[in-house]
Amino acid sequence: MTSFLSAGCDANLKKGEVSTGTTIMAIPFNGGVVLGADSRVSTGTYVANRVSDKIVQVSDHIFICRSGSAADTQALSDYVKYYLSQLSMETGRQPLVKIAAHLMRQLCYENKNRLMAGVIVGGWDQVDGGQVYNIPLGGTMMKMPFALGGSGSTYIYGLVDASYQRNMSSEDAIILVKKAISHAMARDGSSGGIIRTVVVTPEGNNRDYTPGNRLPYGPAGW
C-alpha cells in the first residue's frame, strides 16, 4: 500500500524525517464520546489542505480519527467501514466499538512495515457505552480513558491530564477537546486550520467546527 499524500510527511522524501503531523483527540462522557481533530494536511513543509476532515464515520455510532499518512488512513478506514457494514448485514445488529478497534488494529499490525497510520477509534454501543481506543504506529491497541494522537499531542498531555475527569458531561468534554486542540495548534507547526468535532450519542451524531479565528486559545484568544 503506497502513500502519495501524507499528513506531515512528504511521500517523495522517504529518506527524510517522518512526522505524523496532526492533532487528534477523543474523550468518553456520560452517554457518548467527543472526538476532535485539526484540519491541516501537509506534504513536507507544503500545506496541501487547510480544511481536511480527519474524523471518518465507519458505522452509525463509530468514528475514526486519522493521523499519519492521509492515503494510508483513508484506505484503512474504508476497509473497516466495509467490514463493519458486512458484519451488520450478517448479524442484523450494530457492530460494537471494540470490534471496529480490533479490525483496525489487525490491519495496522499486519501491514505495519508498509503503513504510517496512527488512529483513534471512538464511539458508542449498547454494551459498553462510550469508548475510545488508541492505535498508534505499529498496531498496538489500548482502551483509554481519553486518547490523544499526532505530533501536536506532545504539547497537551499535561493540560489534558490536569483537566480530565471521569464521567464528564458532554459540554465539559467538548470544551476540553477544543481547548486542548487549539493549544496544540498554537504550538505545533504541523497542526492548524480549523477544529472539527463530532459528538456521538445514542440519539445521533452532531458534527461541528470552530474556525481558526475563533479558537478558544491561540493568536485570536491570547
Catalytic residue IDs: 22
Q: Return the sign of the alpha-carbon dihedral for residues 45, 75, 68, 185.
A: positive
Contacts of 184 (CB under 8 A, 6+ apart): 23, 38, 150, 152, 153, 155, 156, 191
DSSP 31: T
Angstrom distance (rounded) from CA 184 to CA 190: 9
For residue 71, give the nearest of 97, 89, 95, 49 by alpha carbon. Answer: 49
Cα angle 114, 115, 120; round to 5 = 155
Q: With residue 162 as reference, give the H or E element that holds it.
A: helix 157-163
